[in-house]
Structure 1
Amino acid sequence: MIVSARFGHYAVPLSAPVSDAKVATGRQRPLSHIDVLTCEVTTDDGLAGLGFSYTTRAGCRAQFAHAKEVASGLLGQDPSDIGRIYDKLLWAGASVGRSGVATQALAAIDVALWDLKARRAGLPLAKLLGAYRDSVRTYNTSGGYLQAPIEEVKERATRSLQDGIGGIKIKVGQPDTKEDLRRLTAVREHLGDDVPVMVDANQQWDRTTALRFGRAVEELGLVWIEEPLDAHDAEGHARLAAALDTPIATGEMLTSVAEHVRLIEARAADFVQPDVPRVGGITPYLKVAALADHAGLQVAPHFVMEIHVHLAAAYPRESWVEHIEWLSPLFDERLTIQDGRMLVPDRPGLGLSLAEHAKDWRLDEFESADG
């Protein structure tokens, strides 16, 4: 039985601000930190599970407030009844909908319950779900942002490969696509033809620009072109996917199963990119993954590698997990990378614990408990 749920709001700083196409086109400011909502669920037998959600730039205070309002619904519940608890908390906040802030707050709780369930079983989460592999292919994103000069991007790409990472993703989507092509060509020439390379436009192109760019880079052998269009333009992404040999990847900004259904049914992506915290937790993520597998698609989850390494290992089709180390300082443990792959931790649950120094980044906390 659940006897307490403790929540925290943390602002985890980046080593240096980063900029993608949303910054280059004036839509957002550079990213300097990640806001994280944590949830620690404890049972009457003394076991605990740890989960988290996150936001960039804005929204975590709203997640924190929503979690605070619905948290009492956890108390007295059997933590194994994850579906029942999710439904109960969803209905507790039904007036604010079934996506966005409401379900992203529930994501921290849902992840904590899955972590707890795997810990009680003495298994890594991937093993509890049913793993197909003990490691997953991984690519690095954090070295390829637009604020970095191209020589720095090349240097960091080399360093990532030396550290055992298997692929490199760089950001594109600037106002001048010629500059995107120049940077991308320089990276491809630097790395050679055998290194897997992806690009990410962060939704900054219209359909014509995306098609012209896609045709211009066909010979570079990219693994995928990510978010060339607005995240909700399923029809446009479907047209690109049909017109180009280079695969299309998208889905990270979608915040519900229903939005992913539209994406999948439209055949709008070769790589579907759900994000556990954004889609509302592991429970809805598994629904998206099942639909993608039924459609014969790859799943390459976005960000939060600490969660996604387990889910990618439990997906039938071999795909990729994004290596971004921004949340690593929040935890005591580190993921192991070797030979282009990220190893699934052998510790029970997610295999994570909050670092003692994390309290220095905590902005707020509260606990809901019996008595």
Structure 2
Amino acid sequence: MTSQQTSVATSADRIIALRLSSITLPLSTPISDAKVLTGRQQPMREVAFLFAEVTTAAGDDGIGFSYSKRAGGPGQFAHACEVAPAVIGEDASDIGKLWTKLVWAGASVGRSGLSVQALAAIDVALWDLKAKRAGLSVGKLIGAHRDGVRTYNTSGGFLHTPIEQVIENAQRSLADGIGGIKIKVGQPDWRTDLQRLTAVREALGEDVPLMVDANQQWDRRTALRLGRALEEFGLVWIEEPLDAYDAEGHAALSSALDTPIATGEMLAGVGEHVRMIDARAADVVQPDAPRIGGITQFLKLSTYVEHHQLDLAPHFAMEIHLHLAAAFAGNDPWVEHFDWLDPLFNERLATHDGRMWLPDRPGLGFTLSDQARAWTVDSADFTATS
């Protein structure tokens, strides 16, 4: 390739436009987990999303998103707007370079939490664009180890839901081809948790993979006592039994119980996960790509998870995490199935035989619906000047 041809290619790959949109997704029913029952949070009635849409001079485009529950949506949008000009005019293929440029553009607010969550939407959009240009799904572009990933449903098992409805929801999920069921625990009276779990296990049978999630609301003594009581249910894991940052407590619990311990969804950067892994605080690592800075950062972490021979089960955002779990080189991972995001997109993911399957559509395989556009509460456009 001549220098002139190189220049033309670089010009074609140049980012000429970036649109950021703050979109609020209303939930049909207020959602309650153990954090609500302990009085630490109010029921969740909506989810705030930050969408990024990137366009190159050649007309290629990509879409990505981050999100926040209960608080932080406007902050993510504001921070993304501050640093977004840093990518205009840059080569869209240089995703790692652009992540570093963005994080330095907002360096005064650090490299974890809201600051990197704002960057995640742009990072994911760049990966979507790159995969579309290659005519591949994001999972295939990275290098898939499997075409389908084990999947379990969470959205049907929240604490506000009567146990009869939880069971009906679980049976419907299994009939739809989903492989496992997770229910929430953390009732003020722990006996209620055991009663609900017993009812679910009896209804579904011994062979259905079953998980529970305490959403960080037990203390160490309660977690150990209940963890021992839960051993008889043959759970795939006990999720977030303790505060997300209690690495020592999680490590002790993991050592004391046969049931695997899962945690990590609330950690807000790769470094926080590394400290948790080094402390042997989890058997199942549950990173959230939008919360740790996007796909670029997730890939760094997944290598560390594989190196330590731990299991991987990304949190929420199955539209992104399906691709990343498919590309995980370690043990067969799990992806969390939520139907909450369905109204945002025109496409759906396929589930059958207990697994969620990579779409054959290029990129992430999703386009924003008209309804999502109608739920936009703020937007900003950044364009090249020449």
Q: 1:15, CA displacement in angstroms? A: 2.1
Q: What RMSD, in angstroms, separates the aligned Cα atoms of the two structures? A: 0.7
- Residue aligning to 1:48: 61
Q: Give the match's secondary structure for 1:357.
A: helix
- Distance (whole Å) between structure 2 residues aligned to residue 310 and residue 36 of structure 1: 20
| Residue aligning to 2:383 | 369
Q: Which residue of 2 aligns with 1:332?
A: 346
Aligned equivalents of 1:130, 1:89: Cα separation in 2: 26
- Once the two structures are superposed, residues 9-48 of structure 1 have per-residue CA deviations (whole angstroms, 9 ceiling, x without a partner) of 0111122111000011111111111110000000000010
Q: How many Å apart are 1:288 and its aligned residue?
A: 1.0
Residue identity matched to 2:81 = K
Q: CA–CA distance in 2 between the matches of 1:15 and 1:134?
A: 32
Q: Indicate yes or no: 2:327 matched with 1:314.
A: yes
What residue number does 1:208 align with?
Answer: 221
Matched residue type, 2:199: A
How many residues are aligned here? 371
Residues 127-276 of structure 1: pairs in structure 2 closer than 5 A: 127-276=140-289
The answer for unaligned runs of 5 or more in structure 2 is: 1-13
Distance 1:191 1:105 in 2: 40
Displacement after TM superposition at 1:357 (Å): 2.1
The letter for the 2-side match of 1:154 is I
* Residues 137-173 of structure 1 deviation map (CA, whole Å, 9 limit, x = unaligned): 1000000000011111111111111111110000001
State which of 337, 346, 370 in structure 2 corresponds to 1:356. 370
Paired AA for residue 184 in structure 1: L
Aligned partner of 1:84 in structure 2 is 97
- Which SS does the other structure have where 1:217 is aligned? helix
Provide the secondary structure at the position in 2 that maps to 1:325.
coil
State the TM-score, normalized to the length of structure 2.
0.95
The aligned counterpart of 2:50 is 37
Identity value in percent: 65
1:239 is aligned with what amino acid?
A
Are positions 1:95 and 2:111 aligned together?
Answer: no
SS in 2 for 1:63: helix
Matched with 2:3 is none
Distance 1:18 1:69 in 2: 32
Q: CA deviation at 1:296?
A: 0.3
Q: CA deviation at 1:174?
A: 1.8
Higher Cα Rg, which structure: 2
After TM superposition, list the pairs within 5 Å mapping 1:262-301 onto structure 2: 262-301=275-314
Which residue number corresponds to residue 7 of structure 2?
A: none
Match for residue 61 of structure 1 among 53, 68, 74: 74
Which 4+ residue blocks in structure 1 deviate beyond 3 angstroms?
none
Aligned-partner Cα distance in 2 for 1:83–1:212: 45
Instruction: Give the counterpart of 1:341 among 355, 373, 379.
Output: 355
Instruction: Output one character per residue of 1:204-235: Cα deviation in whole Å (capped at 9) or x when no partner.
Output: 00111000011001111000000000000011
The answer to whether structure 1 residue 13 and structure 2 residue 26 are counterparts is yes
The AA in structure 2 aligned to 1:325 is D
2:117 corresponds to 1:117: no
For 1:303 and 1:248, how far apart are their aligned partners in 2?
Answer: 18
**Secondary structure of 2:341 counterpart:** helix
- TM-score where L is the length of structure 1: 0.99
Shift of 1:359: 1.8
**1:44-88 Cα deviation digits (max 9, x unpaired):** 000100000000011010000001111110111001111111111
In the aligned structure 2, how far is the partner of 1:159 from the partner of 1:122?
34
Equivalent residue of 1:199, what SS?
strand
Task: Tell me by how many angstroms 1:328 deviates.
Answer: 1.5
One-letter code of the match for 2:236?
V
